Amino acid sequence: MLGTFVAAIVFFGSERLMRDELPRLIPGGELSAVRAPRMRVRTRMLVAFQLLGLLPLAVLSMAALTRADALRTADAATAAAIIHNLNLVIIVLALGGVVVSVALALLVAASVARPLSEVQAAMAQVQRGGLDARCGVVSNDEIGAVAEGFNAMVRGLREREGRSARHLAFELAAAERHWTFVERGT
């Protein structure tokens, strides 16, 4: 059980570290163009919740069942030792499970909340008129797709605003020429 928890913590921890490095590795932020295996957010959550809930329960159940089975043939002194051992196993598994589960839950929550908070902040910046907003694309899952799509949307808004500004400048110049001509003609 400990090995599985350590593997999960290493996975989510390294994913957390990689999220900081991805914008430097892929500066354009077009992570969808990179051919790589993708782990959906749903899959990541299901695996994490199974590790948090099912695995500790299974290990605890197996420990209780093996000791209960040993009680059937044990004398009184051995039975007392088995029960004492079972109590220790339950306490160690419960405390260790709580500590590791909290660490894993924090890593999983951060893997979703942190990038979404960045997208939310960038959306607020655009709402205030800041078309230079950009989200770091830090994963190749749905959250990364949202950030990449947001960046493409803002890029499109900037391009449209630039075209509108050029068109307006052209129209103003034409109107100015027209009024200059009208003023000279009278």
**d(C-alpha 44, C-alpha 49), whole Å:** 9
The domain total for the chain is: 1
Lowest model confidence (mean pLDDT) among 20-24, 63-67, 91-95, 123-127: 20-24
**Residue 38, H or E segment:** none
Q: Which of 2, 7, 12, 10 is nearest to 109 (CA)?
A: 12
Asked if residues 146 and 119 have their Cβ atoms less than 8 Å apart, the reply is yes
User: What is the band of 185 on the pLDDT scale with cuts at 50, 70, 90?
Assistant: low
Q: What percentage of the chain exceeds 90 in pLDDT?
A: 22
The model's pTM is: 0.63
Which residue range forms the structural domain that includes residue 116? 2-185
**d(C-alpha 27, C-alpha 43), whole Å:** 27
The Cα-based distances of 175 to 133, 167, 169, 180, 185 in angstroms read 34, 12, 10, 8, 15
Give me the torsion for CA of 81, 82, 85, 87, rounded to 10°: -110
User: Given this model, what pLDDT does residue 50 score?
Assistant: 79
User: What is the band of 186 on the pLDDT scale with cuts at 50, 70, 90?
Assistant: low
Query: Which DSSP state fits 32?
Result: G
